[in-house]
Amino acid sequence: MPLIEKFEISIEDKLHTFTEHIALQTALALPSKKGNLLITGGGAYNDFLISRIQYYLPEMKLIIPENKILEFKEALIFALLGVLKLREEINVLSSVTGAKKDHSSGRLYP
């Protein structure tokens, strides 16, 4: 990130800044600040990141699934994308990806 590279700060401070940015942007991206938030992916293993997200979303219940689900989530999602592609259904939502329109993406090889 060019902005942060302009400053001579420690790696620890850079990591802290990035983590704080991720937590704040996560909170700002949610239309509702109440309810449940399912956290998955590598960030779910980062206790400090989780604590900062909770700081910005004090009324939100953060839910972190068991490790088995975290570890296999990506494989499950790509399997779902493949099934949707096989069925010629939309597997890319513009509201999620920023694409111009919803569409079916990917290639299947025998």
Q: Which pLDDT tens digit goes with each residue over 10-22?
A: 999 999 999 999 9
Q: Say which residue, 6 or 48, is predicted with more confidence.
A: 48
pLDDT greater than 70 at residue 1 = no
Does 24 score more than 80 pLDDT? yes
Q: Is the pTM of this model over 0.75?
A: no
Phi/psi of residue 109, nearest 5 degrees: -120, 140
Higher pLDDT: 36 or 74? It is 36
- pLDDT (average), residues 25-31: 94
What residue spans define the domains of the chain? 1-65, 67-110
Residue 8 has pLDDT above 80, yes or no: yes
Which candidate, 37, 13, 10, places its Cα nearest to that of 26? 37
